Structure 1
């Protein structure tokens, strides 16, 4: 299992990553990574970056058959 320091170090090396990518890279369950990222965000060490849906074909998640599955959430250090 990874520590919060390892999560921080990997974000520092990669710039920004999705929680799933962090989980796979560090061989750590995603709920634990999510908890660490939320804690880092509360401490002011990490920030959540929402990807814009500029590649959306329908223009609205409500009418999209994919729902919000196409929206990605990235994490980066502050």
Structure 2
């Protein structure tokens, strides 16, 4: 299981990553990664970036059957 420092270090090396990528790279369950990322955000060390995928045809994710599946959330360290 990864530590919060390993999460921070991997973000520093990669620049930005999704929680799912961090979970896979560090062999740690995603709920644990999510908690660590939220803690890093609360400490002012990391920030989340929400992006919309270019493939969204309608532009209306609220009515999307996948329920905002086209929105991506990235994490990066604060400078």
* d(CA) in 2 for partners of 1:45, 1:72: 20
- Moved beyond 3 Å, runs of 4+: none
**Distance in 1 separating the partners of 2:57 and 2:73:** 19
Equivalence for 1:7 = 7
Measured on the aligned residues, the alpha-carbon RMSD in Å equals: 1.2
Question: Counterpart in 2 of 1:21?
Answer: 21
Q: Determine the structure 2 residue equivalent to 1:75.
A: 75
1:36 and 2:21 are equivalent in the alignment: no
Given the two structures, how large is their TM-score scaled by the length of structure 2? 0.91
* Partner SS state of residue 74, structure 1: strand
Whether the 8 Å CA contact 2:55–2:70 is kept in 1: the answer is: no
Q: Which runs of 5+ in 2 are unaligned?
A: none
Paired with 1:3 and 1:41, the residues of 2 have a C-alpha distance of: 15
Check whether the contact 2:52–2:70 (CA below 8 A) recurs between aligned residues: no
In the alignment, what sits opposite 1:52? 52
How far did residue 62 of structure 1 move? 2.6
- Report the Cα offset of residue 56 of structure 1: 1.6
